[in-house]
Amino acid sequence: MAKQFYGKGIPGLAPSELRGTLIAIEGGDGAGRSTQVMMLKEYLERRGFPVIEFGLKRSNLVGKELGEAMEGNSLGPLTFSLFYATDFADQLETTVFTALRAGFVVIADRYIFTPMARDIVRGAHRDWCKEVYGFAPVPDIVIYLKTRSKLQAERIFEKSGVLGYWESGMDIQRSGDMYQCFVRYQDWLRKKFDWMAAEYRFDVVDGNRDPRLIHAEVQERVAHLLEESAPVERTNHNKLPKAPKRKVSAKIRKRPGKSP
Amino acid sequence: MNNSQIAIPGKLIAVEGLDGSGKSTQIQLLRRWLELESYKVFFTEWNSSAIVKKATSKGKKTKSLTPTTFSLIHCTDFADRYERQILPLLMAGYIVLADRYVFTAYARDAVRGVDRQWVRKLYSFARAPDITFFFDVPLQIALGRILAGRPELKYHEAGMDLGLSDSPTESFGIFQGMIYEEYLKISTECNFVRIDATDAPENQQATMRRILQSKIKIEQFKSVSRWRRDRGQTVLR
């Protein structure tokens, strides 16, 4: 799909080279992103799309060092911010661009918006954050799982039993227990996400539901996106047998919104 | 994070110039002078944050840095020093001497093809120095000084990542030439105070001290403490 960058991009890289599809899944800690990434990946692979995923703090260049620095809790907010940006840029340039050039679907489990929200909550200026991440391509779709902080905490408790130091924003809070800190911090992040949702045109998906219901909605939006771009490459394939799937997803959505 | 404009008690002096321009020698002399006169002074150099250094040297060793990540990782390194050293010291009223400052990044990154405005924005959290001395030396002299003493050039130092030449020495020469051009371009914008680096070293030092005293009311930086650091030892004055 036709790409562009948020800012100046990468020297020597024409956005038109990136013909694959870039899907970003955003949301707070415990919003259910990883589950959705997994389900979406499965869906796409079933349809025959090659998929890779990436996320924060996974680069070969600085991923490990960034993790170590976070355990030591010894870096300032500005340094963290740039460290994350370095990590992100390295993954783009070593993995993501290669895959997009080859026409893959790339799913980002968090994109530039999580680090931006975290940085802004810690006092960074919006415009500065925007400029720093000017090297990032604009995704074809940004799906934002908007979730209540208390539900996020529940999901984390179920998964690992403990809230993390960073996901509770302990570095910037001095009062309250960890749970209170978590809820407060995630509320702050959500406010930043809400601002970005408008600014960057996120597809906002209600994350306070059964994962299968969320997936049905995510799937529908992604399917729509892929069909839009399909005529370019798949003109003669007619329409994919998507009708049954549509019905299934519609049926699921019709159920009254019983929260799990 | 965005306090690059507010007034602060300290002063920031930076030196810039090509490798082999003699800037490090000169700033060390300036530091010795200020220390011996018991001024509150602190010295910091490019590329020295312990935490980030590991990642930087790995990236350099494996040659996996691109112009963008090269730029970002150096900015990360700088930010760490800036947040934990430079800014606190300036707030505490020190004279901070910086061997290379953001201008090194401006020049190097531009030569590597990174957008100039983007680099400036990256570093926009950093205060502009009160004085930036630019050690201007003809390229051939700088090259002669470096290549005479240290023939083993590192990959990035020689600008080999730019693919200018297969010979490290030749690549280094072209690369340094490009950086020099870039320095000249930003000289006015960045308020460089030019020092003729072909002049006798003691004359250069005298010029620096004179300019420093003319721009900074240096008396207010006298250390009140009778203790001072000298050659790594604390001695009683």
pLDDT at A119 exceeding the cut of 60: yes
pTM, entire model: 0.84
| Sheet of B192-196, strand order | B41-45, B95-99, B11-17, B131-136, B192-196
Closest Cβ opposite residue B64 in set A60, A76, A123? A60
* Residue to test with chain B: of A5, A57, A62, A132, most B Cβ within 10 A: A62
pLDDT in tens, A135-149: 999 999 999 999 999
Q: How far is CA B150 from the centre of its chain?
A: 20
Nearest by CB to B80, which of A61, A76, A124? A76
For residue A207, the distance in angstroms to the closest alpha carbon of chain B comes to 33
ipTM: 0.81
Cβ separation B124–A128 shorter than 8 A: yes
In this complex, is the C-beta atom of A79 within 8 Å of any C-beta atom belonging to chain B? yes
Chain A positions touching B124 (Cβ under 8 A) are 128
Please check the confidence at residue A234 and state whether its pLDDT lies above 80.
no
Place of tokens 């800036």: B82
Check pLDDT > 60 for residue B134.
yes
CA distance B180 to chain A (A): 21
- Nearest CB among A66, A77, A90 relative to B69 is that of A90
B233, burial (CB in 10 Å: exposed 0-12, middle 13-18, buried 19+): exposed
- The answer to whether the CB of B48 falls within 8 A of the CB of B101 is no
Average pLDDT over residues B44-64: 84
Chain B positions touching A89 (Cβ under 8 A) are 66, 68-69, 72
Q: How big is chain A, counted in residues?
A: 260
How far, in Å, CA of A170 to CA of A164, rounded?
Answer: 9
> pLDDT class for A1, splitting at 50, 70, 90?
low
Chain-centroid distance, C-alpha B7: 22
At A58-83, the pLDDT tens digits run 999 999 889 888 887 678 999 999 99
Quick one: average pLDDT of B179-192? Answer: 96
- For residues A81-101, b (16+ Cβ closer than 10 Å) or e, as one string? bbbbbbbbbbbbbbbbbebbe
Q: Which of B76, B112, B122 sits opposite A79 (nearest CB)?
A: B76
Measured between CA atoms, how close is B214 to chain A, in angstroms?
34
